[in-house]
Amino acid sequence: MKKISSVIIVFAIILVASFTVIRTASAEEVKITGVISKIEIAADQKSAIAVIKDNKSSESITITITDEATLDKFKDKRILEGDEIRTKFEKDGDKNTSKMFKKTAGC
């Protein structure tokens, strides 16, 4: 009985680990440049979504932003709808999580 339980536990661990590996492997890093068409800050102010129209494909892509520095720039309007940005995000299924989010403009 003990042996069967051990085998089941080991099997479960392998299964969970496999899913984790597959999930990690499926996350893809994407870079785009485009204009922000929408910024929406979550009610708890801890995240936001920004919709970017990719300059190359013209596709609108929704990106979730959680880093404090970028959220702060949304709040005090250093980054606005209409600004062009360069972003690097992790695409995992339907969710795109920002890893870098910068305005292209400078002086």
Partner 1 sequence: MTGRIAAIMLGCALLAATAIAKEHPGKEQILKDGYQGPKTCEACHPGKAREFLGTVHWKHASKVDHVDNLNPDEEHGMKNRIYTMCNGNDIVNNLKEVPPNALGKTKFTGCNTCHPGDHASDVGSTGPQAEQAIDCLICHSSKYDFSKRKPAKDKNGNVVMTQDRSTEAAANIGRPSIKNCMACHEAAGGGAMIKRGFSMAKDAEVHVTKGIICVDCHQVKNHKFPTGRDPNNWAHDGIYMTCVGECHTSKPHTDADYNKHTEKIACQTCHIPKTGGAFSKDFTKWEKQANGFYEPSTLKREVNETAPVYAWYNLTVSNTPTFIGPKGSRTDGKSKIYPFKIFQGKAYFNKKNGQLLSMDFAPPISNGDSLAGVASAAKILGIKDYEPVPGWQTIYFGSNHQVTPKNKALTCANCHAINGVLNFKELGYASKEIEKLTNPELYFEKLLKLQQENE
Q: Give contact residues for partner 1 (rule: CB under 8 A).
A: 33-35, 55-56, 68-69, 72, 76-78, 80, 84, 86, 100, 102-107
- In the bound state with partner 1, the residue whose beta carbon lies nearer, of 44 and 68, is 68
- In the bound state with partner 1, the residue whose beta carbon lies nearer, of 49 and 83, is 83
Please name the helix (run of DSSP H) or strand (run of DSSP E) that holds residue 7, with its range, or none: helix 2-26
Q: Which amino acid is at 51?
A: V
The CB-of-16 to partner 1 minimum distance in angstroms stands at 29
- In the bound state with partner 1, the residue whose beta carbon lies nearer, of 28 and 81, is 81
For residue 10, give the 3-state DSSP assignment. Answer: helix
Sign of CA dihedral 36, 105, 101, 65: negative
